[in-house]
Amino acid sequence: MRMRKKPNLVPRMEACGQYWIKEPERLKGKWRSLKPDAVRLRLELGCGKGRFTAETAAQHPEDLYVAVERAADAMVVAMERCRALGLTNVFFIDGDAAELDHCFANDEVDLLYINFCDPWPSVKHSRRRLTHEGFLRSYRKVLREGGEIRFKTDNRALFEWSLFQFPKAGYELSQVTRDLHANGVQGVMTDYEEKFYRLGTPINRCVGTKVKLPDVPVEESLNRALDGLECVWDELPPLPEQTGRYGRALKLSLLENGMERAGLELVEDCPRERTLWVGAFTVEPEARRTGLDVRLAQALARAAAAGGFHAVRLSCPEGENGDHAFWLEQGYGDLPSRQGQEDGQVMMELRV
């Protein structure tokens, strides 16, 4: 339901200026300067009218509380609630959950709340759900190791779907319940939650704790990233000098309408553990004009990171006619290599 515009919105927002962080990117890595004695930094995505925000911040004065809300009409109500309670440990960002890493440094957040987010029921919109694997992976950047995501929803389908997303994104599930208030009210409610509770609608809740990200096979990650193209994989036999030394050797052929548009050859753990070697990278000139070379290179970097590799390494010709400039644009850097210099090749590496 769309909230109606509040009268005198701007003056009401300005009247709550002590709670409103207008330039949150300036506080990246420095949020605790707002409360130097804060035990934990709690972050809420989509705080709505702020009942949960205000009451939770009031119950935990030892912690710093930051709430993100895109709808200014809702956020102003939340700020006014906090002002009425005289709270000094809570602040608000008028922003989007997709931009958290612009506002928070790595490992800066201890606890993240997602309460009654939009379920986006259509399958084609699933990537917009705040508990989609993509979003959950992005939260890892700002959430410390061992930090928690606490998720509540009245939507059973969204909840069951989300339970599969958390482990894929590197979160260990606990406190999973499909009827949180079965034996009476548990914890602070949101306004929506109280309405659902009075209607007898069960509330679903779980906690996801950030743990080591599971390694995803490179081919699985690339298949996802290159959706719309046909990915044909072959496992190549190792060269005699590679036998028993390196990991798998893989070949990818990218097809469009039955025609091969690009090819990629990879060797895992080459020339050392946790390094992915690119033995061949070919893209047809016509496909390059549509940006397939950039798309494939970016997908490769993401797939390497998801697979637990620390770097991607390759060799390419030096000079204006080679791919050296292209790989520099993708973030790769030159490595010192006498052998590569002697045969006109330069060794390059990207840390992921």
How many CB atoms lie under 10 A from the CB of residue 95? Answer: 18
Residue 16's DSSP bridge partners are: none
234 is known as an active-site residue: no
Residue of 63, 96, 107, 118 marked catalytic: 118
Type and span of the H or E element at 76? helix 72-85
How many CB atoms lie under 10 A from the CB of residue 150? Answer: 17
Amino acid (one-letter) located at 20: W
- Measured in degrees and rounded to the nearest 5, phi and psi for residue 291 equal 90, 15
Q: Distance (Å, rounded) from C-alpha 247 to C-alpha 273?
A: 9
Nearest to 187 by CA among 93, 136, 109, 113: 113
The residue written with tokens 């949101």 in the block is 190
Q: Is 213 helix (H, G, I), strand (E, B) or coil?
A: coil
The catalytic site residues sit at 118
